[in-house]
Amino acid sequence: MTDTLDKCNIPYRFNDTLVSYRVDGQNRSTEVINKIQAIRNAQLVITDRFHGVIFSVITHTPVIAFKSFDTKISAGIKWFSNLDFVHYIDSNNAEYADLITSCLTGASNNSNVSNNYKQLLLEKLKEISTVDER
């Protein structure tokens, strides 16, 4: 993936939801907001994490999701099949180079997400957070 970005002179940076310090009830909201802000400021998110997909949908940031070891992405990506800025690739193949270009030029970001849909996503995010805490 980084080879393609480098060849196309596309600047990128790595970002992760994992942090080297404890996230607890006092700083959890700040951490989530900071992560959402980082995604909102990106032109494109490339992820193998379902949280990355959800945050991208909330912020209307084009996203390419790759198949991961768990089934969250492959099952959850179906929730967003009506959004043309959410993409899923189940293998690392040549298709992603064209998809990256399409996303960066805005060719695939014409969807509107209603406030009701945003609320549903926020509720699902809370559910996932609760499951992760267990």
Query: Half-sphere exposure of 103 toward its Cβ, with a 13 Å CA cutoff?
Result: 26
Encode pLDDT of 65-116 as tens digits. Answer: 887 777 788 888 889 989 989 988 876 666 776 777 777 776 555 445 555 6
Encode pLDDT of 4-21 as tens digits. Answer: 777 777 777 788 777 888
Q: What is the pTM of this model?
A: 0.69
CB–CB of 36/51 below 8 Å?
Answer: no
Name the CATH architecture for the domain at 2-133: 3-Layer(aba) Sandwich (3.40)
